[in-house]
Structure 1
């Protein structure tokens, strides 16, 4: 598969840019224009993707198909592909759970070979270099590595188990996306009292990501008995400001799982995570 033909389903902002990178090492990159919006047509043309009239034609001509669509549509799209008995490599690259990825694999196998994928980072335009994490059969992941060699999409293979790439993508997304929502709540709460700039000033003194400090989880667990009530108070502030309070209430409920390890300085990360999963 030196120069494979690739099909992209469907070229949104991420999918089109990833497909354009694939074109570096592909004979052609196809997309199905039927039923797609004018914005999709314009985007596909901008990135040099070749239109075909039907999904059947795309699948008949493609050695590799990459699915990058809204998560809710992933299984329906895979079901459509399965109906055509696609027999190439199917890269399930949507932000979906490992369970859903394995359901999709069951739909498409044994005709197709499934590679689990997860894109972490921004679309590969303007110097951005996202990483496409891959898991699945080595013979198939090697083809995807070769497809994106020397492009702005980096690839990392996590092993042969379908589901690993999806798990990593969602684990990171859960932190990254929720963090942005927490920023909105914190700034909104501070703005209600005219101290939003001061809040930003405090935060600017620390630029490290908490995600890079997992060992601190044990300290958080030991302090949960007082952090939880603080968040309940903050949730009350949000409610008073007309802002959503559910996220902080949920965080307080999570912290309550650690109430029995109050001020335990010997607690390890493993202990804290075990107690979180099995209170």
Structure 2
């Protein structure tokens, strides 16, 4: 099969790195410059992506489109693609709940083939090897497996049902992200009472405890703008399954206190805890 042309919506830190891996087996990887920030443009340039001026131009030229955007924008993005009558393979790779993934599939099918995707792990740079879990028709998922063959993005197919990949992503994210929020609260409480070093010592006696690495709180704060909406999606998935969503909604509400330090790589633990203590 000829190498496909791939479109990425949109090149954030994960999207740009994933798109760069796709370029290994693609004729070209396109991104749309309309309405995007200078930071997006810089990332796209860094990873060697090809700019196009409009979404219709990207869709006309792409055989495969990968959607990796903030969860809140996922359905609006899919509607824009559906309105254009896209007929290729659409990979819905956002951190959204299975019900929303199914709605997006209904928007785009049968004109397009929809693959439900979920990325577990860090962006594929500096030796990181995330896994892109896939669910959808065998023909469509095989094309995505071939696209990432031999790259830092591993793929794993979960079956034909749209929603399975999203469910696995959110089930894992529910623990990974909420546990880090709990670390921030525990360290913040300990600091208030002057026992933060003792808390780390206690936690260090156990293996694999986030409490033993409180410096990670600053990274959590910088990612809060993405993690909060993702946990809201996970809470919706819990509610749809008849399970209590309150803990995840509380974690999302906690993350909202860090909304103004988006992607701040200079943030310190002290700064993050100070902001957490201020409503």
TM-score (normalised: structure 2)? 0.75
CA drift of 1:58 comes to 0.6
CA drift of 1:111 comes to 0.3
Q: 1:18 matched to which residue of 2?
A: 18
CA drift of 1:247 comes to 5.4
Aligned partners of 1:163 and 1:195: how far apart in 2?
Answer: 44
Structure 1 stretches of 4+ with a deviation exceeding 4 A read: 246-251
Q: 2:99 matched to which residue of 1?
A: 99
Aligned partners of 2:101 and 2:204: how far apart in 1?
Answer: 39
Structure 1, gaps ≥5 residues long: 211-245, 252-279
Change (3 A) 1:97 1:200: same
Aligned partners of 2:113 and 2:44: how far apart in 1?
Answer: 26
Change (3 A) 1:145 1:247: closer
Task: Determine if the alignment matches structure 1 residue 182 to structure 2 residue 156.
Answer: no
Q: 1:234 matched to which residue of 2?
A: none
Change (3 A) 1:249 1:115: closer
In 1, are the aligned partners of 2:8 and 2:15 still within 8 Å (CA)? Answer: yes
Moved more, 147-156 or 189-198: 189-198
Q: 2:150 matched to which residue of 1?
A: 150
Q: Deviations over 1:16-58 (max 9, x none)?
A: 0000000000000000011111111111000000001111111
CA drift of 1:207 comes to 2.0
Q: Deviations over 1:229-269 (max 9, x none)?
A: xxxxxxxxxxxxxxxxx959979xxxxxxxxxxxxxxxxxx
Q: 1:109 matched to which residue of 2?
A: 109
Change (3 A) 1:146 1:196: same
Change (3 A) 1:249 1:97: closer
Aligned partners of 2:130 and 2:172: how far apart in 1?
Answer: 13
In 1, are the aligned partners of 2:178 and 2:248 still within 8 Å (CA)? Answer: no
Q: Deviations over 1:178-229 (max 9, x none)?
A: 001000001111111111111111111222479xxxxxxxxxxxxxxxxxxx
Alignment of 1:110-125 (within 5 A): 110-125=110-125
Moved more, 199-208 or 83-92: 199-208
Alignment of 1:122-133 (within 5 A): 122-133=122-133
Aligned partners of 1:199 and 1:190: how far apart in 2?
Answer: 7
Q: 1:162 matched to which residue of 2?
A: 162
State the Cα RMSD in Å. Answer: 1.9
Aligned partners of 1:174 and 1:103: how far apart in 2?
Answer: 22
Q: Number of residues paired by the alignment? A: 216
